Amino acid sequence: MPNIVRLIIAFGLLGTAVTLFVFGHWGWGILIVLIAILVGVTFFYNENMLIAQFYLRKEKMDRAEMWLNNITNFEKQLFKGQHGYYFLLLGLIESRTAPLKSEKYFKRALSVGLSMSHNTAMAYISLAGIAMAKRNKREATRFLQEAKRVDTNKLLAEQIKTMKDQMSLMDRTQTKYR
């Protein structure tokens, strides 16, 4: 459903709720206000992305991918601020099946923009992991430094530290076999 239609429906429901309040039907009015809020929230948060995110947390990648595939034309169906999150979710799903192919999604999410710093840091950490898999230490270090800089609330500090430890372990094993 296009976003403008969602807003029209939400305002129509709010008008209906006000009418119900005027005629003294408070219970129905409150119910309609709650439904209007739910419809209005879907303007900013696409329901397919919310459900896909739920399945990602449950580690059900096939179900998450199914819900993301319901978004056929992301430019029309999603609010502009959601484009980066759409690519981030695609990258996270793709990273479970083909990690090296997910790089394009993470880079696109970063280029489009993510509003929350911990999501940006997560994209950089994922790119660092891909760079490590490609044995590109310089690029992995750069991505980890960028993730550390962006993670202002230190939500991903433990993951950044773990990645750095893995890089140092990788360095030791490479020098050992030279």
Summarised one tens digit per residue, pLDDT across range 49-86 is 889 999 999 999 999 999 999 988 888 888 788 899 99
CATH of domain 46-176: 1.25.40.10
Mean pLDDT of the chain: 88
Q: Are 140 and 128 in contact (CB under 8 A)?
A: yes
Summarised one tens digit per residue, pLDDT across range 102-113 is 999 999 999 998
User: What does the pLDDT read at residue 46?
Assistant: 83
User: What does the pLDDT read at residue 16?
Assistant: 96
Q: Are 106 and 88 in contact (CB under 8 A)?
A: yes
Summarised one tens digit per residue, pLDDT across range 124-141 is 999 999 998 888 889 999
Summarised one tens digit per residue, pLDDT across range 3-23 is 788 889 999 999 999 999 999
Indicate the domain borders of the chain.
1-44, 46-176
Task: Tally DSSP H helices, then E strands, for the chain.
Answer: 10, 0
Q: Is the pLDDT of residue 31 over 70?
A: yes
Q: Is the pLDDT of residue 143 over 70?
A: yes
62 vs 54: CA distance, rounded Å:
12
Residue predicted with more confidence, 172 or 41: 41
Q: Which helix (H) or strand (E) holds 81?
A: none
